A and B are shown apart, each in its own frame.
Chain A
Amino acid sequence: MTGNGNGPHAPNERAEESLPAQQSGDPGEVIDVRRGMFGSRNGGDTSGYGGLVRTVRLPGATPRPYGGWFDEVADEFEGALEEQGLDPAHVIERTVVDRGELTFHIAREHLATAARTLRDDPALRFELCTGVSGVHYPGDKGRELHAVYHLRSITHNRLIRMEVSAPDADPHVPSIVDIYPTNDWHERETYDFFGLIFDGHPALTRIIMPDDWQGFPQRKDYPLGGIPVEYKGAQIPAPDQRRSYT
């Protein structure tokens, strides 16, 4: 941001100080720092918005009690992990309760153990996995690729989320197809779109895109594509070239 007379960092620090303290004490996961507005990057923004700095944070770890049945599930889960000789603090990186939903962030090397425990423990019994969804956070250094699993317990009528992350440089996550066979196609889809490699998947090939496709289309650095069109005499740029308000 060269067009900003105040220097790029000064307003940022002030803004941080003036923010109210987070309730939980955990500032949350910083996934990006956005500067300016309207997608302008070359200092040509004369709108006065060029000095804007916005830190994007996802909700951070929640302190206990989580409320409702969340505590029961967390207790059972941590207890079941301890029974297997694992330290819950190593397996569960963080537990987040946000918008009435419970999320366990799992260390990726323990993903299979965690999934098996959640499925098999009678008090947990999350027997239905609704697949995996990938998310790409290029600004979250070392944790760029996330795989998000939603597990449903029909027995107890509950739904939880399990999230693992992998760095862009080493995009490997263990496959849980042998625990939830339904994830066969879902993991292939996530590989297809994000390049996340699910180690142990029986046949990790592209599923939606053609076999010889180059690149992983749902990553944030993969362009949407499109061409400008003329409408009533004006050039309308392609959707990914239009002005944005981020």
Chain B
Amino acid sequence: MSSTTHAPAGIRETTEGTVYDVTGGDWDELAAHAAKSDDERIIVNMGPQHPSTHGVLRLILEIDGETVTEARCGIGYLHTGIEKNLEYRTWTQGTTFVTRMDYLTPFFNETAYCLAVERLLGIENEVPDRANVIRVLLMELNRLSSHLVAIATGGMELGATTVMIFGFRDRELILDLYELITGLRMNHAYIRPGGLSQDIPPGTVDALREFLKKMHKNLPEYDALATGNPVFKARLKDIGYLDLAGCMALGATGPILRSAGLPHDLRKAQPYCGYETYDFDVPTVDTCDSYGRFLVRLEEMRQSLRIIEQCVDRLEPGPVMVADKKIAWPAQLALGPDGLGNSLDHIKNIMGTSMEALIHHFKLVTEGFRVPPGETYAAVESPKGELGVHAVSDGGTRPYRVHFRDPSFTNLQSMAAMCEGGMVADVIVAVASIDPVMGGVDR
């Protein structure tokens, strides 16, 4: 140990270049200094692999006793390069990628992306009514399932496992509906630029009515179980406080903003997919805390049920894709022995009778359609807040650039403001009330 040098690390010159090592540093001095200080200040890493951090989220907490003095997030553990990948696929293939971003809100990702593509194409008003009704229907089902996961995992992290069981029980009902409608429980790629990949199958309306009946019975159970529960309230009230000024500065939207009393909802402010024609309320509370966010989510689920009921009544027969054959996928999909694919009738037509149809099918599937140059920003109100898509086209068959403004990413920034100065156990509650999904945060 060198007592003369205070260099932070040893430095040796070798034939391979300079080698730095930690021997010969002043670590003893540092350790002695740390041992002398009498405070209980420690830095704790929570995550990225920890059951109560909502996925691979790393929280770096500076703790003085039980109090959090500083809190920071480490993110990026679930980065999959979706935005970059989109630039190497056709516009239609894009939905297959974006549905995987925030994996709890696939229909919102798909719809936001498709709205952006449709605006770039200038076909916003040509999307058939039936496609819009089904989009709204799926988005509201998705809002229910996302909020159910938020409440369920939030409950689990408090030790309220019954809330979790209830949440996942009801989410399963919704996943069954997804499976019936799209064929998949997640990663659907069901909403496509111009409309939908296929129509809803027969029996969907009956299944929806059955589901509505069950949900009307199940939803009050959360009220009975949690809303008035003194333990639940004691853990959530005044925790994760973020007032309106804080929300605006940090760009927090969704239930966080509405728990601060501002009834801002893009479905009302900037309606899309015909939301202006549905009858629903935007719930708010003015508590600015985790409990308020729980109440907002619960009420939003009731409002979603209202919208779904209206959707079911509005389902009129009709096309689900724009009429423009230059954009609409040429084949109706059908279930074959090897999974979902082009319908046999369509194959017969293009292979046996119409060479032009074959050429057209081939061009559209391999090359895709061209989108006029320009940029646009389409936003939808996802269960977490404003989900924005900035899409740029260079006139080609592939997106030039697509950026997702994911609400989880933006909302997660407010973690520090919500947690600093609070107790370490309340960090879990505050993060759960933000409801971040790392698939959306890291993309």
Hey, which bits of chain A sit against chain B, CB under 8 A? 31-32, 54, 56-59, 98-101, 103, 127-131, 133-136, 148, 150, 152, 154, 157, 159, 161, 180-186, 189, 193, 206-210, 217-218, 224, 239-240, 242, 244-246
Contact = CB atoms under 8 A, between A and B. Distances in A.
B369 to A, nearest CB: 10
Given A128-B248, A128-B253, A208-B76, 19 more contacts: A56-B395, A98-B375, A99-B122, A99-B376, A101-B376, A131-B405, A150-B405, A152-B386, A154-B269, A182-B413, A210-B76, A218-B83, A224-B85, A224-B87, A239-B85, A242-B88, A244-B397, A245-B397, A246-B397
B270 interface: yes
Nearest to B377: A150
A32 B396 CA distance: 12
Closest 9 CB pairs of A and B: A182-B251, A133-B403, A208-B76, A239-B88, A246-B396, A133-B390, A181-B249, A245-B397, A208-B79
Interface in B403-432: 403, 405, 409-410, 412-413
A54 to B, nearest CB: 7
Contacts of B401: 133, 135-136, 218
A189 B376 CA distance: 20
A154 B373 contact: no
A28 to B, nearest CB: 8
A46 to B, nearest CB: 19
B405 A133 contact: yes
A58 B250 contact: no
- Interface size class on chain B is 35 or more
B270 A157 contact: yes
28 contacts: A54-B395, A56-B394, A59-B374, A99-B120, A100-B119, A127-B248, A130-B379, A135-B375, A135-B400, A154-B262, A157-B269, A159-B270, A159-B379, A182-B250, A182-B252, A182-B410, A185-B412, A186-B405, A207-B75, A208-B76, A208-B443, A209-B76, A217-B81, A217-B84, A239-B85, A240-B88, A244-B398, A246-B398
B78 to A, nearest CB: 9
A193 B87 CA distance: 14
B311 to A, nearest CB: 25
A161 B83 contact: no
B248 A246 contact: no
B413 A218 contact: no
B134 to A, nearest CB: 25
A185 B249 contact: no
B439 interface: no
B106 interface: no
B390 A209 contact: no
Interface of B: 75-76, 79, 81, 83-85, 87-89, 119-120, 122, 248-253, 262, 264, 269-270, 367-368, 373-377, 379, 386, 388, 390, 392, 394-398, 400-401, 403, 405, 409-410, 412-413, 442-443
A58 B400 CA distance: 12
A152 B368 CA distance: 33
Contact of A130 (B76, B373, B386): B386
B79 A209 contact: yes
A85 B264 CA distance: 35
B249 A182 contact: yes
Contacts of B253: 128
Contacts of B442: 208
A150 B270 contact: no
A154 B264 contact: yes
A193 B376 CA distance: 20
Contacts of A56: 373, 394-395
Nearest to B367: A245
Residue in A128, A135, A148, A159 whose Cβ sees the most chain B Cβ within 10 Å: A128
Nearest to B394: A56
A57 B403 contact: no
B228 to A, nearest CB: 33
A49 B3 CA distance: 74
Nearest to B253: A128
B410 A185 contact: yes
Contacts of A240: 88
Contacts of A133: 390, 401, 403, 405
Contacts of A154: 262, 264, 269
Contacts of B83: 193, 218
Nearest to A210: B76
B251 A128 contact: yes
A136 B87 CA distance: 12
A35 to B, nearest CB: 14
A76 B250 CA distance: 26
B55 to A, nearest CB: 14
B76 A31 contact: no
B394 A32 contact: yes
A99 B398 contact: no
A208 B442 CA distance: 6
Contact of A58 (B252, B264, B367, B374): B374
A180 B264 CA distance: 19
Contacts of A193: 83
Contacts of A180: 249, 251
Contacts of A134: 403
B69 to A, nearest CB: 18
A134 B400 CA distance: 12
Nearest to B416: A184
A58 B375 contact: yes
A181 B410 CA distance: 11
B300 to A, nearest CB: 19
